[in-house]
Structure 1
Amino acid sequence: MEEAEVERLVLEAKESIEAAINYRRELQHRLRGLGQARTQIKESAAHTRDALRQHFQDMRNAVSKMLDERLTVLLQQVEAIEHESIKPLDDCQKLLEHGVSTAEDLLREGDIGGLGGLYIRGEVAVSTTGENHQNLCNFTNKALHIQLDSLPEVPSLVEVPCLSAQLDDSLLSVARDHISSHGTVASRPPVQIEELIERPGGILVKWCKVDDDFVVQDYRLQYRRHNSGHFEDSYVGPDCEFIVLQIDPNVNYQFRVCARGDGRQEWSPWSVPQMGHTCLIPHEWSPGLEGYSLSSRRNIALRNDSPCQSVLYSKTATYFPGQTLTFRVETSGQLDKRDSIGVCVDKDGGCDSLQRDQAVCISPGGAVYVNGKEMTNQLPPVSPGSTITFDMETVSLGPNNNNEGPHQRRRVTIGSGNREVVFDWLLEQSCDALYFGCSFVHPNWKVLVF
């Protein structure tokens, strides 16, 4: 066999071995993924079983407690009606028993006084003795005082209560209808996280509805450090995306989202948690400038009452092309024509506004400035809650100049409200990242950057 043929076979064997190694690695990776999928099904099924058992046990206990409480109330009502109804009968019985006792005493007195023989078989025998005559007068007077012809009224059976319980068996039918449709089991949640996008000091979370029959009223987004503590609410509302701020760089976070159906109070099951992190350091305002107070994370700047004739810049140049830089005006103050919010190539401590060369900015009134010149197009005036976004991308200077040399052209998009302006910005020198800044003449302006 020729040497070339041997080398070819050896080369093919090596390639086959490498292909087999890669093939085995890929299969093992897919086996791990399959194992994770199996684990998710098993664990979610076990969790669902536990949740169903616990829920129905809680329902059983709650219903039993409510039935016991209702039974107690009804028994108390029976007790009260019985006691209230028996009392007048007891009073009547005491009156009757007193009358019987009085009549018996009268009869006993007649026997003792020798008057018992005065009434024998309806015949009256008259005694001729004086003593009997006196006893007879006393006895007659006492009988008249007792009023033997006056009998108390005894209520008839129709006049006294006859207790009964009115029980509607339709409750069982209604309960059966509700219980038979109570609870559902879904193979997957109605909403899932679609994408996690890095942002400086934050993560943009996007989600979507995967159940077409589920009518959403609100979404609820939560996050936490991976395997650390409890999930915290980050957003509740109708939008399908939200930027979670105060995210530490190079730290894994878990995100999950659920939804609430239209007209319902309970939330749907949570989506499958997704892991995300950002490698981008957060945007920070530069500390130490008199006239501005910063938050603990230095992402919020407040114009205070101290005099200030300078622009508040970012700590470092952290805005890169391809990213979205967002300013949110939290509170506003009195307007001034020199007020500005924007980006620039470098810091210039001698300027009191970003309306200068090598900077693009927007004034709170909506005017857009490029290198200190006001554009014809304007944006809506800002107000508390307004967001201003800057998006940039590097574009070619022309067919013979692909941004080589000192000059560089950027395609800039500034958005505010529901409008945006787009223009090309020619930089005198090439730079990888830009500073951002703001300047306000009057106090009470508060700006969040992210």
Structure 2
Amino acid sequence: MSPIVIKTIQFFLSLSILIVLHELGHFIPAKYFKTRVEKFYLFFDVKFSLFKKRIGETEYGIGWLPLGGYVKISGMIDESMDKEAMAEEPKEWEFRSKPAWQRLIIMLGGVTVNFILAVVIFIGLAYAYGETYIANDSLKDGVWVTDTTLGDALGIQTGDKVLAVDGKEIESLNTIVPEVVYGENITIERDGQKIEMEIPVNFIETISENKEQVRFIKPRLPWVISEVPEDSQNASVGFQAGDVLTTIAGSSVKYQDQVFPILESNKGKTVDLIVNRNGTDVPLKAKISEEAKLGLMIGMTGADAEKQGFLKYNTTDYTFLESIPAGWNKGVKTLTDYIKGMKKIFNPDTGAYKEVGGFAAIGGMFPDTWNWPAFWATTAFISIILAFMNILPIPALDGGHVMFLLYEMITGRKPSDKFLEYAQITGFFILIALLLFANGNDVYKAIFK
């Protein structure tokens, strides 16, 4: 099956789950407070619906426009803009007739469910799969910076040890780049000296321009031959799988990053080299191509790297009770990081606004092969995004309604229906503008990048 089809299926499955549960977050407290719910829809039913069925006072259905979903609550100024109903005298079952604290709970229900759902997913992932990562402090000779453009922009180089970001110790190698993206300051150790540097304000933009190298910080590993291809220019030299390169062109080497510059400076030449084979040094001669390659497949398993002391994996298995705080902490951390990212987006100097994406960007977050852990982790992340975006104080979003309800509860004065109507219209146009900008970014990047 095509990777695009797999991503699309995952996207719509995830979106459907999140929309239905978000709207249930409004539906359940509304029904609990005896507020009439006229419609409950997955996707929007502009002009017509794909499916609908009335059960009691509520029409349940699936719309044809997959831009979200909604519950239509009686007596509430929402996206339906039902002016005729609002012009009538308030009924006891209507939203506007309920106490402000009940209306607040109804409006907060969606984002609350989104956050709780993310935490529940993280709890399940922690319990089912635990956590495994490369311990950052196990890299005795620092990290390998595979892209000098990104490394120079950040101010780090191969051999540096990344100690902390914003004063928080880095435990996992894989979290260095995400922490740097959201951070303000980085602490490294170079040649035994601790150095603190500011992270460039536009580093997000630098990464976005070099996306293919986004994983530019890797562990330093030896040059171990995993395969000798039959069409290699050095197929008959005598290389064997498992050979470890220790000397090339008269220079001793320990790591892969030390080999590449030597290959580059000896393009097209035949050089002497030494490989270690089962503890014995074996001298060989090899041809370096004009592309600075030996024509060999290299690499070693994580288990072998750990066995030989180049890195160490930390693995944590959680009991069900232990997975609960782990999942909660993951949810809070994800939300906190997303808020940090949004702050950077609203700062034009960072260039982060260029990375704002729409449906294509969200769909691209899913793996191109079916992987349940990755699917659920991505769904949890999107659920956090929906919770945050919906609580923004923009009219037409849950956060806009919450803002006006808090104003009413604090001042004792309820905004007029006419004001709420105009606010809803304004919020609608703001949302359309944001939607066009985000999806326009997707189109621009698809065409020009």
| TM-score over 0.5 for the pair | no
Greater length-normalized contact order (CA 8 Å, ≥ 6 residues apart): 2
Higher helix fraction (1 or 2): 2
TM-score of the pair, normalised by structure 1 = 0.18
Larger radius of gyration: 1
